[in-house]
Structure 1
Amino acid sequence: MAKKTIFILAAILIFSVLGYNIWRVCASVPPKKAAENYVRALATGNVDTPLKYSSGDAAFAVSRLKGSKVTAKVEDVSCSVGALGRGWAKVLATVELTLQDGSADVGWYSMDMTKTGQGWKVASFREAKPDMSGVSLFVSGAEADAAKRVFQGYLDALAAGNWQGATKYLAGPARRSQEMGAAVIGKGVVIGRVVDLKVVPVWKRGKSMLVRFGYHVESRDVSVLAGFFRTKQGWRIVKINQI
């Protein structure tokens, strides 16, 4: 009798967990789809289309883009639901783009979604930090070498005073940060010549990778942690933190 009771309780627990997971997956689909539609429509530069998928602050932000000529080709959108409640969800999106100049870019965004009478809509849209989550202990030698070549090219361009040339090695937050600083420090040599560049792979998951670099420049040793993302045009630096 006791064994039968334990078996029944275990079965109930298993089916409850399975049922919850199935519900969560099914319930996550509509807000994810609405978020993806919003992002894809936003990139076209057509204001009317993303307005259909937005409300509140997100709709106001879209309306301010009217007349803008900035467009991009969306290569891929990957969405995940970070939180789900009653008529509300938080969707995280990784968006891969090809910009008007032909260069590859990537962005991470966080969206608050609300369920309305017309379906799920984006209520707020803001840039997020690169998603470098999950456990990973292995990075192949080939990928570490590829990251080293990209980082070396970036440093060489800065040492040559080629600010625009350095930008082609960047994407995401790192690229936007450099573009914003171009007017102030984008003229002349930024750093001296880098020697003895060493690479230590730290982490990789999917298209994202973290690498630690050490090098010598202007009589001092420097150590940085660089985040990379693999675009359609190869690995690009998305963040750099001195350590």
Structure 2
Amino acid sequence: MVLSRTSSSLGSLIKDYRNKRGMTFEKLDQLTDVDKGNICRIESGRIKRPNLDNILKIGSILKIPYEEMMEPYIEVEERSDILFTILHELIRSNNNINSNMITKLAKKILNSPTEESLDLVKNLYNSTANIEEPSTKLILYKLIVRHSRAHGIMPYVAKSLLQAYLVERDDFTKLRTTYGSGKGTIEYEDFLTSEERGLMYYKLFVHSYNLCLFEDSIKMGEKALNEEISDISLRRHYKPRIKKRYLSTLIVSKYQEQNINIQK
């Protein structure tokens, strides 16, 4: 049950739920092992950044929904390790994540003063890979792109653009639009690893083939075949497929070219 409140602060949230449950400071102290004086100071706002473990104990006893409790907590927290803990818990819970909350949390992480910007971007990028919900992944990858571009962290502009394309291309209703965004990633190919370039060109090769853009498909196939992919699983999985479809693409392209010449 979500309570309506006039204040969105963490302290007022806890106070509202405690009063709703009819629980005294002393009783909550006994059940959580959090000192009643600390609980009182949290509710009054005198503790600006309360301990996360204590907040989770209080929330568990008062049955405060995790996301509802974390939203005001994120407002006052700046430590990147704590913010990442919250993010990983949201990912682990595998529930439908509120897009506004995940955006707010990611922005707090990227702007945390407790860690270098490059490390924050790298860790958020790696964490995003563990998210299953495509729309949430897309939000985070695009946020990383904007932040990395603004801070000159070009490798993660390239990596996140590629990952965003891989998510978007699964929407078959927007094949032409997503193909354009995928080709835009080529501009940043120098910042990708050989494996990433190989994957990018293979996906664009298949994408253009499905759109009957056979000239593009031939170019993308050649690029994919020229990449020095060191990962054995990638090499076994993609290169035979590329070669097989590459030949069929050449045949189709030549057939179309001959038909055009005959018509002329």
Which structure shows the higher helix fraction? 2
Give TM-score, length-normalised by structure 1.
0.23
Higher relative contact order (Cα pairs below 8 Å, separated by 6+ residues): 1
TM-score, normalised to structure 2, is: 0.22
Structure having the larger proportion of residues in strand: 1
Flag the structure with larger Rg.
2
